[in-house]
């Protein structure tokens, strides 16, 4: 068997080795399970590792090669733990769901399972996907493999760290305000939020329904397109899902001839770190070298996007999270004296502080007398943000910005300052408000930590975004292998409660 480097292997190369018979799916899966055994202690990317199932299922893929083939067959994947998986505990990194066994599977997960991927486990996140550092998980704090003392970003920090640490070939995450792109940026991997509606949200535990999208985290743009190909499409179970006007194409472009890239001045005015600004400017220079043309554009309402998001997202979250009441499923407090006591204690004990903060803000913003002043006004701002993009896209093909104003920050440095944490997504949130596709690719290092470069396209321009990102990635030549420097002082482990880690039965599960 060829020796494989889990820190650099792409899904594309792994597939070639499988098809050529150089390795088996079982051997490939073992490479990742071995890496999990070697580094997970430090990284803590997974809430649940389904090692036995992964080993069994990969053997099955080898054995039934004739029936179980296709572009994804035998390729190991990690799944964010807010995507429900039948028979596999799904916690949303919340005490509220610490033992929740879903009775169905999210469509996006079902689609990759049907393609015979091998699921390695469920990854850590900020509780209910609310956060930018994965520190708001009720279970554990994930470390960034580039520097273990820093955060992996969030909320899909577990998925991003798993891919960066070579614990998975690729992963699924969700992005409501930047939760795929920002952790991808901080961990030096590729992350994409598709156009709103391009991927079914059925089975994604809802945070803010008008913003949520599922997206891939991968080690290359090609892999991102490959995974996206299999999760897009109309799903009768999600009324907001649509068929893409043209199917996702695997990118091959090496040049950017004739492409007009808009650089919004407002995005450069958000307190970018010097190193981030330097890598961004260098990447713009590469665009020009590849035949593209960078022009300044203006998105004048950018400064209002973040405040509007922090009204709309909590408002929708407060409604979505009303279902966790201790009656239907999930956590229930012990010995309630009456119904009010049941609701109050279940929700006080089940939710963590950041989730409670969002519920309180959202409930307030939606309350009678305030609805129009807050939610209504935020929605009007949202329309202005959309209009800004429409106007910019009448002049340019794509918009470029840094993904995050900073590189990975030290664990604990923003947890007591919610506004500083919220600022992490200042460059990613507008694309969610406008429902646009956006990708983050690594564009170099600053102080030894990855910097992300974001490309945003008009709605349904996935192929344009992917083609440009692919060409740029080739010119940048980023090395995805992190050094695992630093030493996390505390183990990062929180009370895992009695989370039942029973994996789903082998016959129904990859």
Binding site for ligand GLN (CB under 6 A): 129-132, 155, 175-179, 207, 313, 425
Rounded to whole angstroms, how far apart are CA atoms 152 and 137?
13
Q: Rounded to the nearest whole angstrom, what is the least distance from the CB of residue 268 to ligand GLN in the complex?
A: 21
| Closest to 450 (Cα-Cα) out of 421, 428, 479, 427 | 479
Q: Which is nearer to ligand GLN, 178 or 188 (CB)?
A: 178
Cis peptide before 155 (omega within 30 of 0): yes
Rounded to whole angstroms, how far apart are CA atoms 492 and 507?
35
Q: Which is nearer to ligand GLN, 247 or 353 (CB)?
A: 353
Annotation says 334 is catalytic: no
| Closest to 488 (Cα-Cα) out of 418, 412, 436 | 412
Q: Rounded to the nearest whole angstrom, what is the least distance from the CB of residue 112 to ligand GLN in the complex?
A: 20
Q: Which is nearer to ligand GLN, 106 or 313 (CB)?
A: 313
Q: Rounded to the nearest whole angstrom, what is the least distance from the CB of residue 83 to ligand GLN in the complex?
A: 13
User: In this structure, are residues 122 and 142 in contact, taking their beta carbons and an 8 Å threshold?
Assistant: no
Residue 415, classed as helix, strand or coil, is coil
Rounded to whole angstroms, how far apart are CA atoms 507 and 139?
29
Annotation says 58 is catalytic: no
Annotation says 424 is catalytic: no
Residue 246: both structure tokens together: 């043209």
Count of CA atoms in the C-beta half-sphere (13 A) of 125: 34
Choosing from 155, 159, 440, 461, which is the catalytic residue?
Answer: 155
Q: Which is nearer to ligand GLN, 29 or 142 (CB)?
A: 142
Q: Which is nearer to ligand GLN, 205 or 441 (CB)?
A: 205
Q: Rounded to the nearest whole angstrom, what is the least distance from the CB of residue 313 to ligand GLN in the complex?
A: 5
Q: Rounded to the nearest whole angstrom, what is the least distance from the CB of residue 167 to ligand GLN in the complex?
A: 21
Choosing from 179, 318, 424, 440, which is the catalytic residue?
Answer: 179
Q: Rounded to the nearest whole angstrom, what is the least distance from the CB of residue 176 to ligand GLN in the complex?
A: 3
User: In this structure, are residues 10 and 75 in contact, taking their beta carbons and an 8 Å threshold?
Assistant: no
Residue 381 per-residue DSSP state:
H
Q: What does each C-alpha distance from 319 to 207, 314, 315 come to in angstroms?
A: 9, 9, 7
Choosing from 60, 80, 122, 193, which is the catalytic residue?
Answer: 80
Q: Which is nearer to ligand GLN, 131 or 233 (CB)?
A: 131
Residue 318 per-residue DSSP state:
H
If phi > 0 it is left, if psi is from -120 to 50 it is alpha, else beta; for residue 486 that is: left
Residues classed as catalytic:
80, 155, 179
């Amino acid at each position: 068997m060829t020796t494989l480097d889990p820190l650099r292997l792409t899904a594309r190369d792994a597939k070639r080795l499988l098809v050529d018979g150089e390795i088996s799916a079982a051997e490939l899966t073992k490479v990742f399970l071995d890496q999990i055994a070697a580094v997970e202690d430090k990284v803590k990317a997974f809430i649940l590792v389904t090692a036995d199932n992964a080993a069994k299922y990969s053997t099955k893929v080898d054995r039934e090669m004739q029936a179980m083939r296709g572009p994804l067959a035998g390729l190991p994947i990690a799944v964010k733990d807010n995507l429900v998986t039948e028979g596999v505990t799904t916690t949303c990194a919340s005490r509220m769901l610490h033992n929740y066994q879903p009775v169905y599977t999210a469509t996006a997960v079902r689609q990759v399972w049907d393609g015979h991927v091998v699921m390695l486990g469920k990854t850590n996140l900020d509780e209910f996907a609310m956060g930018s550092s994965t520190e708001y998980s009720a279970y554990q704090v994930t470390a960034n493999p580039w520097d273990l003392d820093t955060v992996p970003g969030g909320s899909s920090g577990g998925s991003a760290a798993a891919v960066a640490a070579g614990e998975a070939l690729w992963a699924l995450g969700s992005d409501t305000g930047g939760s795929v792109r920002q952790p991808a940026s901080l961990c030096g991997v590729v992350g994409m939020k598709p156009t709103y509606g391009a991927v079914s949200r059925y089975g994604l535990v809802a945070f803010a329904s008008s913003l949520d999208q599922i997206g891939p985290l991968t080690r290359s743009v090609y892999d991102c397109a490959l995974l996206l190909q299999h999760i897009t499409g109309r799903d009768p179970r999600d009324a907001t899902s649509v068929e893409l006007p043209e199917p996702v194409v695997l990118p091959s472009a090496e040049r950017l001839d004739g492409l007009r890239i808009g650089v919004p001045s407002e995005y450069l005015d958000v307190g970018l770190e010097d190193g981030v600004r330097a890598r961004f400017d260098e990447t713009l220079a590469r665009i020009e070298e590849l035949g593209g043309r960078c022009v300044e554009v203006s998105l004048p309402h950018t400064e209002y996007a973040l405040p509007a998001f922090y009204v709309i997202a909590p408002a929708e979250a407060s409604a979505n999270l009303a279902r966790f009441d201790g009656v239907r499923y999930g956590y229930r407090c012990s010995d309630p004296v009456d119904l009010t006591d049941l609701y109050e204690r279940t929700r006080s004990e089940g939710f963590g502080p950041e989730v409670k903060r969002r519920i309180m803000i959202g409930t307030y913003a939606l309350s009678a007398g305030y609805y129009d002043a807050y939610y209504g006004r935020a929605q009007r701002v949202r329309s202005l943000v959309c209009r800004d993009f429409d106007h910019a896209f009448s002049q340019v093909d794509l918009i470029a910005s840094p993904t995050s104003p900073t590189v990975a920050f030290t664990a604990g440095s923003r947890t007591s300052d919610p506004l500083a944490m919220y600022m992490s997504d200042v460059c990613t949130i507008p694309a969610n408000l406008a429902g646009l596709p956006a990708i983050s690719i690594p564009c170099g290092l600053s102080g030894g930590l990855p910097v992300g470069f974001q490309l945003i396209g008009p709605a349904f321009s996935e192929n344009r975004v992917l083609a440009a990102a692919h060409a740029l990635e080739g010119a940048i030549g980023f090395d995805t292998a992190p050094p695992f420097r630093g030493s996390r002082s505390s183990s990062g482990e929180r009370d895992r409660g009695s989370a039942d880690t029973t994996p789903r039965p082998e016959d129904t599960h990859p």
